[in-house]
Chains A and B, each alone.
Chain A
Amino acid sequence: MSVLVASIGFGLISTSILAIAAVGFTLQFGVTNVFNLAYGSVMTGAAYAAYVANQFGVDIWVSMVLGGLFGAALSLLINRGLYTPFARHGLGLAGIIQVTLALGLILENGLQAIFGPSYHSYQMSQGPSFHFGSMVFTAVQVGIMGIALASMIGVHALLAHTKLGKAMRATAADAPLARSCGIRTEFVTDIAWLLSGLLCGIAGVILVMDLQSFTSTTGSNFLVPVLAAAVLGGIGQPYGAMLGALIIGMVSEVAAAVTLPQYKEVIAFVILLVVLLFRPRGILAEVASLKEVVA
């Protein structure tokens, strides 16, 4: 029993990291329809940015913010410099997916060329431990959960209560219509990439803070669970991504406790495949017709 409770504790941490990453992924996809497979490599890039700052003696939490800002800037740059030109050049949805995959490969291996194949760690302490029944969290892990909660509330507030959030939802629902209603969809697209990149960068840094060491493939290995969480909830749906993260994060950790630990991700993915059999568009998605790339 205590193993099960402890695994729920692990599940909460996995869920926190997954939720930030999946909401970032899905926000950007919802607005722009770019299925960004370079997302995992951008996470790694942000983790390295935070690592460089951390090596210069910057505190790890400040480094995390810097990593988030780096992710935001890099995402905006990628869209302005690569995806938008390709989309305007007439490349279809399938072609754009290949562009994102190529970019992911370039970023991942470029980072490896710069930083080498070895593992790196942040200079940080995990802080005192807190006990909740048989769940044990370090101070860092409590911080991670707090950041996840704050991010989710922030995203909700943005989408539900601001004009910008409304404009984002309008663009996601129907970009040409939103444009003809006077919404500056280009500006909204930029904001979506910045916000997605910010969440992506923060997720990359806290993932490494939790794992304690990382290398150039860490982010892209984490991409598949992120995709799974985003798709499970219905892609383009931020609340669906939160739900998906909860299911994938919890199931994989609890499954690790009750079955073989090496299959924890496999079990979560099999659940995803089964869900897709019955609801091909995810749990929360109502309308998800195939749209063109919004550039």
Chain B
Amino acid sequence: MSIAWQFYISSILVYLGVDVMACWGLNLQFGVTGIMNFAYIVFQAAGAYTAAILTLGPSSRSLFQHYIGGANLPFPIPIIAAGAVGALLSLVVGTFTLRRLRVDYQAMVMLIVSLIAINVATNQVDLVNGSAGLSLVPKPLSQVLNLDLVNYQWFYVALTAVVCVIVFLFVHQVTRSPLGRTLRAIRDNEHSAAALGKNVTRFRLLAFVLGGAIAGVSGAILVEFIGTWAPGSWTYAETFVLFTAIIVGGTGNNLGVAVGALLVPVVFLEATRFLPPIGYPGLIDALQWVAVGLLALLFLWRWPRGVIPERRRRFRKPAPG
């Protein structure tokens, strides 16, 4: 394989891992618990900024970018911190929005939250360097390992895979445990769950925080790989791609969601890279978004349960008497 192809394929694999992780986190919130988190990308961004700031070193040493705090922490700490910040931000936002609000109000409030977040990140330049974003984020362990560029790429693929496995074991454990059963009960019938003594708001908040932590980790893995992060790259449309991936893959099914993450953000969006350029620059991008929207509509109409539907759970009838 030529070096260029190795670069391309290894990069795609990292993107795939990030998307799969992000979809699992969103699936925990939306697919399993039924929270319409249209601000999901904000929590991914929060994780990415955290990881970037904790690897870039103190802000005062940088001439061209300004950010709050700054440290030079060794490899796994920035990623763990990103997860923690994602969870913490989710806790704050969730406390505000998950209380007593209807599903559609929640969806709308999430849209507003994402707009506020983009506004603040863009305009408060000393926070995370405004609309220019952060760049030149050092790659983890690159100095310790001393690999050439191509081998480092493959190392990062392996790293992403390991994190993916950890995240999978986590979401798998959550969804198959009694906790997962409670979350699904809340999704399917909030009032019945409440009648059985489940504190609906608390469980929603828990799922929201766990999903936010995963979002933060996925953002950290992405930013440590590509090295830059700017607010222009996280609009509600990006979240919609993840929603589409979950719908296509199979809402509520971790395996299906992973397949969806392969099909929509990776295969569907990467395939157009090989199209010959037509029209003005940006025409293909616009048509691509049209196609993603049509894909979501097609699946919602024809296969609303996705490629790999959520397993229908059966329970034995209690013995009579």
Contact = CB atoms under 8 A, between A and B. Distances in A.
24 contacts: A37-B111, A82-B297, A86-B300, A91-B304, A97-B36, A97-B103, A97-B107, A98-B296, A102-B297, A102-B300, A106-B290, A108-B289, A109-B287, A116-B280, A116-B282, A227-B108, A227-B111, A262-B123, A263-B123, A265-B115, A269-B112, A269-B116, A273-B96, A273-B112
Say what secondary structure dominates the interface of chain B. helix
Contacts of A113: 283, 286-287, 290
B280 A290 contact: no
A174 to B, nearest CB: 17
Contacts of B240: 101-102, 105
Contacts of B100: 280
B179 interface: no
Contacts of B101: 276, 280
Nearest to B239: A101
Contacts of B244: 102
Nearest to A112: B286
Nearest to B119: A266
Contacts of A109: 285-290, 293
Interface in A255-295: 260, 262-263, 265-266, 269-270, 272-273, 276-277, 280-281, 288, 290
A86 B102 CA distance: 21
Contacts of B287: 109, 113
Contacts of A103: 293, 297
B104 interface: yes
A94 B34 contact: yes
B202 interface: no
A136 to B, nearest CB: 27
Given A112-B282, A265-B115, A105 B107 contact: no
A117 interface: yes
Ordered nearest first, which 10 A-B pairs have the shortest CB separation?
A106-B293, A109-B289, A102-B293, A35-B104, A109-B286, A262-B123, A105-B293, A112-B286, A102-B296, A113-B286
